Structure 1
Amino acid sequence: MQVKLKLTVAAAMAVGAGLAVAQDVQVIKIGHVAPISGAQAHYGKDNENGVRMAIEDLNAQNVVIAGKKIKFEIQAEDDAADPKQGTAAAQKLCDAKVAGVVGHLNSGTTIPASKVYNDCGIPHITGAATNPNLTKPGYKTTYRIIANDNALGAGLAYYAADALKLKKVAIIDDRTAYGQGVADVFKKTAASKGIQIVDEQFTTDKATDFMAILTAIKAKAPDGIFYGGMDPQAGPMLRQMEQLGLSNVKFFGGDGICTSEIAKLAGGAKTLENVVCAEGGASLQKMPGGAAWKARYDAKYPGQFQVYSPYTYDATFVLVDAMKRANSWDPKVYIPKLAETNFKGVTANIAFEPNGELKNPAMTLYVYKDGKKSPLN
C-alpha cells in the first residue's frame, strides 16, 4: 500500500512538473499582411513565405524571453492590395494584440495602415513598400528595411542618362502611391540630367489594355518608357509595345516590375530584353546570406520566389531581436530597442535612421537575359 502511495505521489508530481513546463511556453503572434488574392497574390505569397520561414527558424532556436520558452506563430491577413482592406487588416491585428507586424507589400496599403499601428502602439516593419511618404509622419512604430523610391527612381534615371545616353522618355504610372511616387522621382531626376519628358500617361493597377496610351506615346518617338507600377500591368504592356513596333524602346521600372513573374506575363515578347529595373537592396548573390538562404527557400517553396521574401524574413528576425534585447514581447517595452537595432541579416547589416528608414540602403539594377533576371551591378 505504501509503495503504491509513493508511486501515485511521484506520478502526480511528474504530471504537475509537466503542466508547469507546458505553462511556461508563451505563444507570441507576429502579424503579416500582403495581397494573397488578386493579380498581385504572387508577391504576397512570397512575402508570407519569408515570414513563415523565419518563424520556423526562430522556433528551432528555442528562444527564451523573460524566463519563458517562446513559440512564435504567424497571423496572416490578406489586404488584396486595397487600402481599405489594408486598414481593416491592420485593425484586426491590433485587436488580436499581435506583438508586431511584418508588412504591408504596397505603399498604398502600408501608408494608411501605419497610422492604425501607431494608434494602437504595435510596431510594423515593411520589406517591400518603398514610397518615401511612409516615414514622413515620424511614427515610432514604422520601420522599412529596403531602399525607398528616392533611391530607385533616381538610380534608374542616372542609368538612363549616363550609361544609355537617352534623350527622350515617356512616363506611365498606375496612380497608386507606389507607382506615382517612383515615377515622380524618376521624372524629376531624369529632367535634372537633361532628358526630355515627351509624354506622361496614366493607367490603373487593374488595367490590361494599354494600346491607346502606347499609341499616343509612340507618336512622340521616345528612347525609353518609364512605368511606375507592378508586373501584372508591365507584362501585358511589354507585349503590346512589341505589337506596336516599339521594340527598340528601353523600358524602365522600380522593384514592382523587377520579378521573375514578369517574364511569364510578357508572354515571350522580345521587349523583355529592353527592361531595366531597380530593386532596393543587394542582389541575392551579394547579400551576406543570400545564396544559402535562397537555396533553403527554393527547397521549401519551389518556384514561388519573387522579390521581397528575404526582407520579410529579416524583418521578422529584427522584431524578435528587439524583443530579446528588451527581455519583453510587450510593444511598449521593446519598441525603443527597435530604434537601436544593429542586426546581421540575410539581406544586409540592418540599422535604422531616427525616422525608421534603413541606414545605408543598397540598390541593384537588373536586366533580363534569355528570360532570366540578371543583376547589372
Structure 2
Amino acid sequence: MPFALRAPALLAVAAIAAAAASAQEQVIRIGHSGPLSGPNAYAGKDNENGVRLAIEDLNAKKISVGGKTLKFELASEDDQCDPKQGVNVAQKLVDSGVKFVLGPYCSGVAIPASRVYDGGDVLVSTVGTNPKVTQGGYKHLFRIIASDNQIGSSMAVYAAQVLKVKKVGVIDDRTAFGQGLADEFVKEAGRQGLAVVGKEFTTDKATDFSAILTNLKGKQPDVIFFGGYAPQAAPMTQQMKRLAIPAKLLGGDTLCSPEMGKLGGEAVDDTVFCAQAGTMVQDGSPAAAWRARYKARFGQDADAYAASYYDQTMFIGEAMAKGGSTDSLKVSEYLHGHAYQGVAASYAYDAQGNLQKAPVTVSTFKGQKMTPLASY
C-alpha cells in the first residue's frame, strides 16, 4: 500500500493512542505567586525554582489517584510584592481553576490575597511571616516557615543572651512584613531587659539611609534591628560603615540570603546577623544533598526558601497519593492531620495553619557568604 494511503490510518491510530493516554492522566496545576520582577525578584525566582524542582520529582514518581496518573504543571505569576497586583494574581489563578498555590512571598500580599483564594477553595502555602496572615480564619492556608513572633523574638534573645548588648535601635520599612517583624523584636527586647534607644522608618524602595542612620548613631545603640528586605539591608550596612557606626545590623529571614553578600560586599561580614526558619544544614545531610541538586539544576545556590517551597509541594503530592484525592479541601484536611519530613524542616500544622515547632537558625556572614551560628 502506498505511504500516502497509509498515512491517514497511522495518524488516526496515533490520535486514538494520544487520547487514551490523556484519558489516563489528570493534570494538576500548581500555582506560584511571588515577585518575579522588581528588587525582590531574586527571591521570587528562587521560590519558583523550588516548586519547579518538586514538580519534576513528583512527575517522576508517576503518582496514581483514582486510576489516573497525575501530571503536575507549574502556573507561575508575578505579584511584584504589591498588594493590589497580588489580589489580581489571586483572582487570575482562581478563575483559571488552579486549586493549589505556593506563595505569596510578601506578607503584605498574602493578607489581602488570602480572602480571594479562600473564596475559590484554593489551598495556599505561604512564607508570609506576619502573624496576621494566619489570623483570618482561612482553613486551607498554611504558613510553611516560622512566623514573625518566632523570628523576631529569636533575634532579641540572641542579642541579649549571646551578643550581650544593652541598647538597640530599630528601623522598619513600613511593609506588613517589616513592621510586623520589628514589632515582635521590640516586644521580646523589652522582656529581655534591652533598652530601645531609637526607632526610625524607611520604605522598601529606599536606597539612602544616611539621615536615619545619623539619628541613630547619636543614640549609640549596640545593635540596629532592621525589619525589611535584603535590597535595602545591604546598602544600609555599607552606609553604616561609611558613617563609622560600630553597631551590628540584625534582621530576619529576608536578610539570610546570598543577595546580602552580592549587594553588600565586605560590609556584611561579621556585621549582619539574621534569623531564618529551619535548622542548620550539616555536611552529608539530606538538606545538603538537596542544595547540591538545586545548584546542579539551576546553576546557582538556593536562597532562603526554595527548600521550603519544595518541601510543601512534595507534601501536597504525598497527600494526594496517600489520601487518594486531588480535591484541594481533602488535601488540606490531610495536611492538617499528618506530618511530613522535608529537607528543610519537619512539617506539621496547628488548627490555624501555623508550622508547629518551627526551628530557627541564626547566621552571620563571612567572606560575603552566610555562615550558620546556632539553631533554636
The answer to whether TM tops 0.5 is yes
**Is the contact between residue 42 and residue 304 of structure 1 (CA under 8 Å) also seen in structure 2?**
no
Cα displacement (A) at 1:176: 0.6
Kindly provide the amino acid, as one letter, of the partner of residue 325 in structure 1.
K
| Equivalent residue for 1:344, pick from 331, 341, 352 | 341
Matched, 1:327 2:324: yes
The SS at the match of 1:201 is strand
What is the aligned partner in structure 1 of residue 98 from structure 2?
Answer: 98
Paired with 2:171 and 2:11, the residues of 1 have a C-alpha distance of 73
Paired with 1:320 and 1:158, the residues of 2 have a C-alpha distance of 37
Paired with 2:239 and 2:254, the residues of 1 have a C-alpha distance of 19
| Residues 57-72 of structure 1: pairs in structure 2 closer than 5 A | 57-72=57-72
What is the aligned partner in structure 2 of residue 265 from structure 1?
Answer: 263
Paired with 1:14 and 1:46, the residues of 2 have a C-alpha distance of 39
**Is the contact between residue 144 and residue 354 of structure 2 (CA under 8 Å) also seen in structure 1?**
yes
The SS at the match of 2:189 is helix
Cα displacement (A) at 1:315: 1.4
What is the aligned partner in structure 2 of residue 231 from structure 1?
Answer: 230
What is the aligned partner in structure 2 of residue 160 from structure 1?
Answer: 159
Kindly provide the amino acid, as one letter, of the partner of residue 150 in structure 2.
A
Cα displacement (A) at 1:304: 4.8
Cα displacement (A) at 1:13: 7.8
What is the aligned partner in structure 2 of residue 361 from structure 1?
Answer: 358
What is the aligned partner in structure 2 of residue 195 from structure 1?
Answer: 194
Kindly provide the amino acid, as one letter, of the partner of residue 194 in structure 2.
I
The SS at the match of 1:365 is strand
Number of residue pairs the alignment of both structures matches = 368
The SS at the match of 1:220 is coil
Matched, 1:256 2:254: yes
Cα displacement (A) at 1:285: 2.5
Matched, 1:73 2:55: no
Paired with 1:92 and 1:209, the residues of 2 have a C-alpha distance of 36
**Is the contact between residue 145 and residue 350 of structure 1 (CA under 8 Å) also seen in structure 2?**
yes
Paired with 1:105 and 1:278, the residues of 2 have a C-alpha distance of 17
Paired with 1:311 and 1:286, the residues of 2 have a C-alpha distance of 19
Paired with 2:247 and 2:46, the residues of 1 have a C-alpha distance of 31
In structure 2, relative to structure 1, the CA distance for the partners of 1:171 and 1:15 (3 Å cut) is closer
Paired with 1:249 and 1:9, the residues of 2 have a C-alpha distance of 78
The SS at the match of 1:256 is helix
TM-score when normalising by structure 2: 0.93
Paired with 1:286 and 1:184, the residues of 2 have a C-alpha distance of 35
Paired with 1:344 and 1:262, the residues of 2 have a C-alpha distance of 29
Please, which moves more after superposition, 197-206 or 323-332?
323-332
What is the aligned partner in structure 2 of residue 212 from structure 1?
Answer: 211
In structure 2, relative to structure 1, the CA distance for the partners of 1:366 and 1:210 (3 Å cut) is same
What is the aligned partner in structure 2 of residue 144 from structure 1?
Answer: 143
What is the aligned partner in structure 1 of residue 112 from structure 2?
Answer: 112
TM-score when normalising by structure 1: 0.93
The SS at the match of 2:105 is coil
Paired with 2:344 and 2:369, the residues of 1 have a C-alpha distance of 21
Cα displacement (A) at 1:12: 7.6
Give unmatched runs, 5+ long, in structure 2: 2-7
**Is the contact between residue 32 and residue 102 of structure 2 (CA under 8 Å) also seen in structure 1?**
yes
In structure 2, relative to structure 1, the CA distance for the partners of 1:323 and 1:286 (3 Å cut) is farther
Give CA deviations for 1:10-51 in whole Å, capped at 9, x if unaligned.
Answer: 998897455323321111101001100000000000000000
Supply the RMSD in Å over aligned alpha carbons. Answer: 2.1
In structure 2, relative to structure 1, the CA distance for the partners of 1:305 and 1:9 (3 Å cut) is closer
What is the aligned partner in structure 1 of residue 30 from structure 2?
Answer: 30
The SS at the match of 1:175 is coil
In structure 2, relative to structure 1, the CA distance for the partners of 1:12 and 1:43 (3 Å cut) is closer
**Is the contact between residue 269 and residue 367 of structure 2 (CA under 8 Å) also seen in structure 1?**
no
Aligned-pair identity (%): 46
The SS at the match of 2:270 is helix
The SS at the match of 1:125 is strand
The SS at the match of 1:151 is helix
Kindly provide the amino acid, as one letter, of the partner of residue 45 in structure 2.
K
Kindly provide the amino acid, as one letter, of the partner of residue 264 in structure 2.
A
Give CA deviations for 1:257-277 in whole Å, capped at 9, x if unaligned.
Answer: 1111101211332x5321110
What is the aligned partner in structure 2 of residue 298 from structure 1?
Answer: 295
Paired with 2:15 and 2:111, the residues of 1 have a C-alpha distance of 50
**Is the contact between residue 94 and residue 120 of structure 1 (CA under 8 Å) also seen in structure 2?**
yes
Paired with 1:173 and 1:59, the residues of 2 have a C-alpha distance of 42
The SS at the match of 1:165 is coil
Kindly provide the amino acid, as one letter, of the partner of residue 51 in structure 2.
V
Give unmatched runs, 5+ long, in structure 1: 2-7
Kindly provide the amino acid, as one letter, of the partner of residue 38 in structure 1.
G
In structure 2, relative to structure 1, the CA distance for the partners of 1:212 and 1:28 (3 Å cut) is same
